[in-house]
Amino acid sequence: MKLKLALAGLMIALAPTLAHAEGDAAKGEKVYKKCKSCHTVKKEKNKVGPHLVGVFGRAAGSVEGFKYSKALKAKAAEIGNWNETNLDEWLANPKKFLGGRSKMTFKLKKEQQRADVIAYLKSLAK
Ligand code: HEC
């Protein structure tokens, strides 16, 4: 009887986490390998894409010396700072998110991978 109650409690506690994709920063570090050919989080150095040092919470389109696409520049103020929500939309489909041609041709289709890589970027921002 006691065990049943404990199990019921556990299920209630877990329900919200199962409801939507929670990011796992450790898994996200692996997903991040896909970004490495174009980005670095290690130093403020631009590659094909702008550096991602402190990108979580950073203003969109704000890296000095990086030539962003017109579409990103035009939308930067509207995007504001990068957070879970806009990063998720961005990574799913940059072109759709901007409503114009982005220089980032890469898409991360799997929702869980997006949640994980965002959790990783967030963990670096702390
Ligand atoms: C093929 C190269 C390439 C890959 C792979 C790539 N990106 Fe990008 N990324 C870019 C380019 C180029 C831009 C600039 C986009 C623009 O100006 O429209 C960019 C921009 C960004 C921005 C906006 C930065 C800012 O300063 O506003 C974020 C965030 C970002 N990328 C995250 C990622 C993440 C996370 C991954 C991996 C899951 C990734 N990118 C994979 C090339 C890439």
Q: What is the pLDDT along the chain (126 residues), one digit of tens a residue?
A: 666 777 677 666 665 554 457 999 999 999 999 999 999 999 999 999 999 999 999 999 999 999 999 999 999 999 999 999 999 999 999 999 999 999 999 999 999 999 999 999 999 986
What does the pLDDT read at residue 20? Answer: 57
What does the pLDDT read at residue 90? Answer: 98
CA distance 125 to 119: 10
Nearest ligand 1 atom to the CA of 118 is 35
What does the pLDDT read at residue 73? Answer: 98
Nearest CA to 53 among 63, 41, 67, 64?
41
For residues 24 and 32, the answer to whether their CB atoms sit within 8 Å is no
What does the pLDDT read at residue 81? Answer: 98
Nearest ligand 1 atom to the CA of 34 is 37
What does the pLDDT read at residue 10? Answer: 66
What does the pLDDT read at residue 4? Answer: 72
Q: Is 116 exposed, middle or buried (0-12, 13-18, 19+ CB in 10 A)?
A: buried
CA of 20 to the centre of ligand 1 (A): 24
Nearest CA to 115 among 82, 88, 81, 90?
88
What does the pLDDT read at residue 1? Answer: 62
74 is written with which tokens? 């035009």
Torsion angle, CA of 49/20/98/58, rounded to 10 degrees? Answer: -50
What does the pLDDT read at residue 15? Answer: 56
Any ligand 1 atom below 6 A from CB of 118: no
